[in-house]
């Protein structure tokens, strides 16, 4: 993977010891200042290695394979994150934590180290002006034939100033 995404609030995580493949949603509770992929700065707080404890929406992944109940079934999972690994060491957030990446892993006291993984990093792609400038018109037209990307890529020129300048020079002349 050449590019890794920073994990933000709303990311989904999963545990390899869940009986059913269930996910839970990560909640950032340790900082309120640093956002990623969020123009309004309201929803996508950056998650860090300080987000430990009960920092998931439901704090469960269903039934846990590490907790057999003796009758062939398993006890419910009570997800508690004790530690994160695989963080981005080059950034220290306002809570003195290191940002989580999409390949970061968490440890739960019931499971083994790194038993909880990031399923989806939580960021969403939003097209901007630079994306339009960089778009290949032929490929874009195959994907979305309803929009002519070359029209969006053309610079809009205004000749208002030239007409005014000519009118002023003629009235002075």
Predicted pLDDT of residue 170: 60
Per-block average pLDDT, block size 10, for the chain (173 residues)?
A: 83 95 95 85 91 96 93 93 95 94 94 92 80 81 82 65 56 59
Predicted pLDDT of residue 1: 41
Q: Which residues contact 26 (CB under 8 A, 6 or more apart)?
A: 7, 9, 10, 11, 12, 13, 47, 51, 55, 56, 57, 122
Predicted pLDDT of residue 164: 55
Round to whole Å and give the CA distance between 104 and 116.
Answer: 9
pTM for this structure? 0.72
């Amino acid at each position: 993977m050449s590019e890794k995404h920073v994990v933000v609030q709303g990311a989904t995580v999963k545990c390899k010891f869940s009986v059913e493949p269930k996910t839970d949603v990560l909640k950032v509770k340790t900082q309120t200042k640093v956002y990623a992929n969020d123009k309004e700065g309201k929803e996508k707080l950056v998650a860090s290695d300080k987000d430990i404890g009960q920092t998931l929406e439901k704090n469960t992944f269903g039934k846990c394979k590490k907790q057999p109940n003796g009758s062939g079934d398993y006890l419910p999972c009570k997800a508690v994150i004790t530690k994160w690994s695989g963080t981005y060491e080059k950034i220290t957030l306002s809570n003195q934590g290191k940002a989580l990446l999409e390949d970061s892993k968490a440890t739960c006291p019931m499971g083994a180290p790194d038993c909880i993984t990031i399923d989806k990093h939580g960021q969403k792609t939003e097209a901007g002006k630079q994306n339009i400038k960089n778009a290949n018109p032929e490929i874009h037209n195959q994907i979305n034939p309803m929009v002519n990307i070359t029209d969006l890529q053309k610079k809009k020129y205004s000749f208002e100033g030239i007409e005014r300048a000519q009118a002023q020079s003629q009235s002075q002349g």
